[in-house]
Copies of this chain bind each other. A is one copy, B any other.
């Protein structure tokens, strides 16, 4: 039989909300999530896990308390566990996150931007 790949563009076309991660795949107890982001997120950290950011389209800044990193398409960065960070995108940016199942997008920070978890697309 012909199995079907997961196509990032196709999956991204199925939702428009910003800062609302959509799960596209699960590897062991980790999830791959697509997210459209625009504007400023909230400062937060994930005390128990590193977090992978991969930019698929656009430009993403990740601010840290001691600096920042700018990611373009085809670039990734891993935010170490426990490090406070704030993603910022001047224009809409499409990214993929990789992190353990159950990680909340705003960490322990209470925010209107806290998204429902484990939503698949």
Contact = CB atoms under 8 A, between A and B. Distances in A.
A77 B6 contact: yes
A24 B98 CA distance: 15
A16 interface: no
A69 interface: yes
Interface stretch (A37-45, A48-56, A104-112, A113-121): A48-56
Q: How many copies does the complex hold?
A: 2
Contacts of A77: 3, 5-6
A1 to B, nearest CB: 4
Interface string A77-98: 1100100000000000000001
A64 to B, nearest CB: 7
10 contacts: A1-B67, A6-B77, A7-B75, A8-B74, A9-B74, A25-B76, A28-B50, A28-B81, A30-B30, A56-B74
Closest 6 CB pairs of A and B: A3-B69, A1-B67, A5-B75, A27-B50, A5-B71, A6-B76
